[in-house]
Structure formats: structure tokens, C-alpha cells
Amino acid sequence: MKLIVGLGNPGAKYARNRHNIGFMAVERIAADHDFGPWKAKFQGSISEGRFGSDRAVLLRPETFMNRSSDSVAAALQFFKLEPSDVIVLHDELDLAPGKVKAKMGGGHAGHNGLRSIHGHLGPEYGRVRIGIGHPGHKDRVSGYVLSDFAKAEAEWLEDVLRGISDGAPWLAVGDNAKFMNAVALRTAPPRPSTGIKAPADAPKDSAPPQAEDARGPLQKLMDRFR
């Protein structure tokens, strides 16, 4: 069994903040995989369900970000789980918008939610880092993460949340490679072959017509950050 934790801040005014992308991700997983209704528990809210035969509990800590561990530790104790059974989904400033990475263990990189969880669990838990980009200067970070996603970001954000939801069953069995593949199929699907050829009677030095750019908005954005 896995405890999948989405980090965020409680309350309607924070609901669409960049800092709340972890909340958004677990909410999408619950909806897409027919998990049970959200219930108040462990100083947060939980939704229980299964990916096939694999049981999982989704948790949204509602203690505010810097006390996320109060909720996570309570759930961990109740379900008699180990830190390695926990997967935390959170926003990541050091990744380009829409870029996703999964790993086990590591530092907290100054993230208040992870810092709190580190204090109770140590570093050996799983995490899914969801890129939101960096505002460019450390003095702007607080305002940036607590601001809403722009309307222009809606399409790539939807693709990322769908990809994470598609890959959630693989997270539940600890297969990060297949999880990342599921995310990639949503965010950077294979580009179709254009199938365009030059006419038979065209001069040898003439080029075939240029195909329309098949990249989606997320792929275009990510390419800018490379």
C-alpha cells in the first residue's frame, strides 16, 4: 500500500496557486481512478481506493505547507507504513514548467513542505517533482509560488495532471520508469510522420513543403528551457 501525498495550502484562495499543484494532482488521480469521497482525517483529507489490486490512500495535508508533516506522520502511523511507502507530489522551482521527475530520497531544496516532512520522516521517501519554473530572482519566489497559474498555462497544466494520473498505478507499484513514460505520452507525445514528399517532377534542389509544427504548447514551452 502507498500513501500518496499532494502538497498545498488549504482554502479557496490558494486553490489555483502554483504552490498547490500537488493538491491538484491527487485530486485528478482520485477523480480519474474512482477513488472514494474525500474525508476529513489526519489534519487533512483522504481519499481511498485501488489501482487494480494495489491499495492506495491519497492525502491532502490541511495544516498549511510548513506543517505538512503533522498530517503525513499521523497517516503513516495509523496505516502502519514506512517512509518508503510515502510518495509526495509537490511543486518544483528548479524544473521548467510542466517538466516532471520522480525519485526516491534526496534533499528538500528549501521547499517548506518537504522540509517539514524531512523533520519527521527523514529523506527516504518518494517524491514527484512537478516543474513550475522559477521567477528569476529569489526575492520573487514567495509571490510567484502563491500566485495562480495564468490562463495561458491551462493547456500544459491539464496535460501534466492527466499524465500524472495516467501513471499513478505505476507509482503505486514503485515503477518510476513506467510512470515517467505515462507522463511523457501526455506531455510530449511522439510526433507523427508528415508523409510529405516532393512532387516527382520537382527540381532536385527543391525542398518539400514544410509541415505544420506538431509540438503541443507544453513541448514548445519545455523546448525554450533546454
- Residues with a catalytic annotation lie at 19
Nearest to 19 by CA among 134, 145, 108: 145
Report how far residue 171's alpha carbon sits from residue 60's, in angstroms, rounded to the nearest whole number: 17
Task: Write out the DSSP string of 4-55.
Answer: EEE----SGGGTTBGGGHHHHHHHHHHHHTTPPPPEEETTEEEEEEEETTEE
C-beta of residue 72 within 8 angstroms of C-beta of residue 117: yes
The packing angle between helices 176-187 and 154-172, to 10°, is 160
Mention every residue, 6+ apart, whose C-beta is less than 8 A from residue 193: none
C-beta of residue 3 within 8 angstroms of C-beta of residue 59: yes
Nearest to 54 by CA among 33, 71, 83: 33
Mention every residue, 6+ apart, whose C-beta is less than 8 A from residue 110: none
